[in-house]
Structure 1
Amino acid sequence: MSDSLAVKPTISVIVPCYNVEVYIDRVLGSLRSQTFSDFEIIAVDDGSSDGTLGRLEGWAGTESRLRIYSQENQGLYHARLSGIALARGEWITFMDADDEVTQGHLAALMSGAADDVDVVITGIASIGLDGVETRYGPRKGRMGGAEAAIALLVGHHSNGLFPCWNKLYRRSALEAVKFDRSRINQGEDQVFNLRVFQAIRGLISTVEGFTYRYIARPGSIMRSMSERHVADFFELWRERHEAATTLLQDSRLQLSYRHRLMLNVMDFAGQVYRSRRRDLMQQLTYGLQQMTLQPKLDPADPIALLRWLKWRMRMELGQRGHFVGWLM
């Protein structure tokens, strides 16, 4: 591992890398162009089988702020945890290896940093496969950790609370969180932030601007589907409900959460159906049945949830009962 920095930087930028040889120049180039320069880059090569590691080593020859760590393939969540363990900055932020940031990204995040702040959030510019840019994120202001956790549970992804990569975290706050090293894949950002928001004592500050540029690409992990994705969907469901049981005391918030849960189930069921894999459809159905056999894990009425899902699937899939029938 390259370790040329003699002084601890203000920010550690953690970049998990897995088979991103063709994208790594873009992310590192956008970091090199930052107007705020007091940072280190920790690139965690997560067992890449292409030329990613060689590309990183090439960059390390000309970029003294870059540190490289290699590990066997463990997934994005674990790559981030490895980066946190290696970080030396007072603050930590993340980037996906196929995205980019504006020149003022780190400066914008630091503008929200203060003694009483543990997390800073900036806006997102999402570029779709068609090249269309959509901007979203939170309004400028401050909020407490519990308030942010509730908004994550009941709100829409456009509030900017879901992803990890548009945020700046105080390192000491992350180190105080007990992250579960059990397998997480689908929705790992939500799990990560839910744990952070519930644990922090400081405030969350949001800043103006859309400085993180999320770039969709064919073959991304969120576009693929596997047995691991289905299993992790239910793991995420359990984690979210555990938090909801503690945080959502107001009946209106509970209703909003139930609606959000149903929409999430419908969206994920659609992804599973589009995979055309019968084994995944059966796994999804079994998982739903198991959840409804344990009411404490299901904030919505179990029978109503399945009836609603069946109705929505009929509406969306044009009465294709060969799949919908499995749900009852």
Structure 2
Amino acid sequence: MKDAKVSIIVPCYNQAQYLDEALQSVLDQTYKNWECIIINDGSPDNTMEIAENWIAKDKRFKYYYQENAGVSSARNLGITNALGEYILPIDGDDKIAKDYINHAIEAFEKDISLKVVYCKAEKFGDENGEWKLPPFSLQSLALDNMIFCSALYKKTDWERVEGYDNRMLDGLEDWEFWIAILKNGGNVLRLDITGFYYRIKLISRQKKLEGAIKKNLFNYLSIKHADFFVEQLGSFGALNDNLKKEIDCFYAKLKSEKFVIDLFCKTFFGFTIFGKINKK
């Protein structure tokens, strides 16, 4: 398994200005048995020219073009043509550390129960510093995504869930994919290394994810993976009961705090703020 091929999938749309950095981080890998598939998702920039330069430099780079159909479709095209046992997606504006793949493959070799291996991350670009993400658990995954797109997994798992969901054009496709491959079992490992560098831009697809778009995506996820959300968070009835209990606890605590404040004010200042304190 140590020599297993890794297929690195790089979908590109309007990211040509960053693509050289991303592909250089691929070329710098200490793990050598990889191929890198660049997918031009109908980008109007010079993505093809840059890709051809890298193919001329190293034949492990490959290139495909499709009419614009979104990142899920672009990844699926790349993985369909991938020869690797393992898949590592990287967006065309991000980077990976030179030893990331090597550490990930070692982890898979030691633990056959692993389905996903990822790492610590840093932000760069318009914002810098550690990208602090909560530890993984299925229950936490039901509340929000904490695994970025650039994690390694087996191609067979991608095949089992029929790939990334092409209908999620507006975002959250990574979250949906992790739910799909993990909800029925399998372990996840976050390596104790910083291996992924996430570019922050003032304008990005993620920052446009709000309002009706976000609501529609949440509705879609809730229906598609209802079994997962019920198992991890409970039914709507259980959620409603828990919410009522939390509200009751809040008001009970608030009532108690008001009483203490009034007692203090009455004792030392002769007046109350919230109500009357009877003195015997």
Could you state the TM-score of these two structures normalised by the residue count of structure 2?
Answer: 0.74
What secondary structure sits across from 2:93 in the alignment?
Answer: coil
User: For 1:108-257, what aligned pairs fall within 5 Å after superposition?
Assistant: 108-114=103-109, 115-127=112-124, 129-130=126-127, 132-137=128-133, 148-154=137-143, 160-161=146-147, 163-165=148-150, 167-179=151-163, 180-199=165-184, 201-224=185-208, 229-230=213-214, 231-239=216-224, 241-249=226-234
Residue 46 of structure 2 is matched in structure 1 by: 51
CA deviations 1:86-133 (Å, max 9, x no partner) are 111111111111011111111121221133322212111123624x21
Identity fraction in percent: 25
Residue 78 of structure 1 is matched in structure 2 by: 73
Residue 26 of structure 1 is matched in structure 2 by: 21
> Greater strand percent: which structure?
2
What secondary structure sits across from 1:23 in the alignment?
Answer: helix
- 5+ unaligned residues in a row in structure 1: which ranges? 1-7, 140-146, 259-298, 305-328
What secondary structure sits across from 2:87 in the alignment?
Answer: strand
The count of residues paired between Structure 1 and Structure 2 equals 237
Q: Judging changes above 3 Å, is the alpha-carbon distance between structure 1 residues 170 and 225 closer, same or farther for their aligned structure 2 residues?
A: closer
Question: In the alignment, is residue 105 of structure 1 matched against residue 100 of structure 2?
Answer: yes
Q: Which is higher, the Rg of structure 1 or of structure 2? A: 2
Of 42, 65, 70, the residue aligned with 2:37 is: 42
What secondary structure sits across from 2:98 in the alignment?
Answer: coil
Q: More relative contact order in 1 or in 2 (CA 8 Å, sep 6+)?
A: 2
- 5+ unaligned residues in a row in structure 2: which ranges? 248-280
Distance 2:168 2:195 in 1: 31
> Aligned-pair RMSD on alpha carbons?
3.0
Task: Indicate if the aligned counterparts of 2:142 and 2:233 stay in contact, CA closer than 8 A.
Answer: no
Q: Judging changes above 3 Å, is the alpha-carbon distance between structure 1 residues 22 and 181 closer, same or farther for their aligned structure 2 residues?
A: closer
Distance 1:106 1:188 in 2: 23
Deviation at 1:240, TM superposition (A): 5.4
Residue 309 of structure 1 is matched in structure 2 by: none
Could you state the TM-score of these two structures normalised by the residue count of structure 1?
Answer: 0.64
Distance 2:243 2:167 in 1: 26
Q: Judging changes above 3 Å, is the alpha-carbon distance between structure 1 residues 235 and 26 closer, same or farther for their aligned structure 2 residues?
A: same
Distance 1:243 1:37 in 2: 37
CA deviations 1:43-72 (Å, max 9, x no partner) are 111001111111111211112110111111
